[in-house]
Structure formats: structure tokens, C-alpha cells
């Protein structure tokens, strides 16, 4: 996780979850699986990257759960998207701050719209 993420943009529960052991384990399993499929690429700029260079963005938070204070991670593989911290940060600036973009949309749809706006900018600087 990047420390540059503004805490105000992330609900406390999500922030706690993203530091939980369950999430670290889920993230490791995601990368273990993804690296068997081919080279990892950033969903923003499209460049190939190693797992240590990438963060995972949630397209859907439904896999996140907490029972009796114990966090559990049940995200499906397709609910997570690899991004450089920089590209991830830009994505969050768009979907967390652009009310029009996020209103009445699922996080998945808002993410795809935001990425379609970001990709041309990120890829031309690549
Ligand atoms: Zn990137
Ligand atoms: Zn994210």
C-alpha cells in the first residue's frame, strides 16, 4: 500500500482491512495465480511490472468481510486489478472525487470509465 493515499478518501473500515493479514494473504494468492497466466501488466499505463511494483485495486469490495473483529478476504480474482502506486493514485483521484463518475454506478463501472479516461494519458507518457 502506498502511504500517499489520502485517508479521507477511504472509509476507516477499508483502511483497516487493507492492513489486515487476510488482505495481505489474499493479495499474495492473487499474484501467485496471475503470474502463472503471463507477465503482469499495469491496468493503467499498460507497462509490464513485477508484483512488488504493483498494488491491487478493488473493483468490488463485497469479498471483504469481518466477523467478530476478524477480517476475511474472499475477493474473486476478477474483482482485483493490478496498478502501479502512481497509476492507482490517479485512478482513485478520479473515482473518489468525481461525484458524477461514481454516482449511481458500481465501483466496477466507475473504475472502467475512469481507466478509459486515464489510459490514453498514461500510455502516451510511457
Ligand atoms: Zn502503471
Ligand atoms: Zn484502489
Residue found under cell 449511481: 104
Residues with CB under 5 A from ligand 1 (ion): 42, 44-45, 84, 87
Q: Give 83-94 pLDDT, tens digit per residue.
A: 999 999 999 999
Span from the CA of 52 to the centroid of ligand 1 (angstroms)? 13
Q: Give 50-81 pLDDT, tens digit per residue.
A: 999 999 999 999 999 888 888 999 999 999 99
- What HEC string does the chain produce? CCCCCCHHHCCHHHHHHCCCHHHHHHHHHHHHHHHHHCCCECCCCCCECCHHHCEEEECCCCCEEEECCEEEECCCHHHEEEECHHHHHHHHHHHHHCHHHHCCCCHHHHHHHHHHHHHHHHHHCC
Mean pLDDT is highest, among 3-7, 40-44, 100-104, for 40-44
Reported as a pLDDT band with limits 50, 70 and 90, residue 124 is: confident
Cα separation, 69 vs 94, whole angstroms: 31
User: Could you tell me the pTM of the whole model?
Assistant: 0.86
Ligand sitting nearest the alpha carbon of 108:
2
Mean pLDDT for 30-51 is: 97
Span from the CA of 103 to the centroid of ligand 1 (angstroms)? 25
Q: What angle do CA 28, 2, 26 make, to 5 degrees?
A: 20
Span from the CA of 37 to the centroid of ligand 2 (angstroms)? 22
pLDDT, position 4: 52
pLDDT, position 125: 64
Mean pLDDT of the chain: 89
List the grid coordinates of 124.
Answer: 502516451
Residue 67's DSSP bridge partners are 70
Amino acid at each position: 500500500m502506498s502511504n500517499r493515499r489520502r485517508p479521507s478518501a477511504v472509509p476507516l473500515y477499508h483502511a483497516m482491512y487493507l492492513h489486515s493479514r487476510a488482505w495481505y494473504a489474499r493479495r499474495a494468492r492473487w499474484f501467485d495465480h496471475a503470474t502463472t497466466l503471463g507477465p503482469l501488466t499495469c491496468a493503467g499505463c499498460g507497462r509490464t511490472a513485477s508484483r512488488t511494483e504493483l498494488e491491487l485495486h478493488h473493483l468490488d469490495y463485497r469479498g471483504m468481510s469481518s466477523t467478530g473483529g476478524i477480517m476475511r478476504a474472499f475477493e474473486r480474482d476478477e474483482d482485483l486489478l493490478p496498478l502501479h502506486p502512481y497509476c492507482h493514485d490517479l485512478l482513485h483521484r478520479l473515482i473518489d472525487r468525481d461525484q458524477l463518475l461514481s454516482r449511481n454506478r458500481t465501483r466496477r463501472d466507475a473504475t472502467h470509465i475512469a481507466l478509459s479516461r486515464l489510459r490514453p494519458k498514461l500510455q502516451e507518457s510511457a
